[in-house]
Amino acid sequence: MNTTVKSYTPKPADVTRHWHLIDAKDQTLGRLATQVSVLLRGKHKAIFSPHFVTGDTVVVINAKDIRVTGNKMQAKMYRSHSQHPGGFKERTFAELNAEHPDRVIIHAVKGMLPAKSIRDQMLGMLHVYAGPDHPHAAQINASEAGHPVPAVPAKSTTPRVKKTRATAKPAPEKKEG
């Protein structure tokens, strides 16, 4: 007896995106980044597929109040290079968190997402703010009320007219003389 199991691949119409609001105040950086990466990838959904973005949109507030354990405040280093001579920069966690607290969380989440082309799509659904104020209150409230945001915008109802040679404008006539 040979039984076959059919695999399921989600379609863009099957995905409904919700908005999640996460308060980073007094949360550990690694644990918060893990939670955010699971939501962005869509691993909490039954239709998860590793090659397709099925995740939700995440808004993180109070990024400046993130907590790290041990001596990471001074020992954790963020390094970058501008590809120019002398362009190497090295900052501690404390320096980067004082200047750009959103980049600390984005960097941690980026490291937990797969290094594939869909990582940029997932990071596009991440919104990080240093303080408690954010411009996404309407989307989050609509999502909590049971009105998920569709993954793909609705198709236009206006019919597309296909141009053919018969419907194209004739070329202007050349004047001689």
Q: Hey, how many other C-beta atoms are within 10 angstroms of the C-beta on 48?
A: 14
2-56: pLDDT as tens digits? 778 888 788 888 888 899 999 999 999 999 999 999 999 999 998 998 888 999 9
Domain extents in the chain: 14-68+100-145
156-169: pLDDT as tens digits? 455 555 556 655 56
- Measured at the CA of 19, the angle between CA 46 and CA 9, to 5 degrees, comes to 30
Q: Give CATH superfamily name and number for 14-68+100-145.
A: Ribosomal protein L13 (3.90.1180.10)
Whose CA is closest to 134, among 80, 84, 60?
60
E strands, 35-175, are: 57-61, 77-81, 88-92, 126-128, 149-150
pTM of the model: 0.77
User: Could you tell me which residues come within 8 angstroms of residue 104 by beta carbon, excluding any fewer than 6 positions away?
Assistant: 29, 63, 66, 78, 93, 96, 97
Mean pLDDT computed over 97-126: 94
Q: For residue 73, give both structure tokens.
A: 């405040």
Contact 125, 55 (CB under 8 A): yes
In angstroms, the CA 101 to CA 93 distance is 9
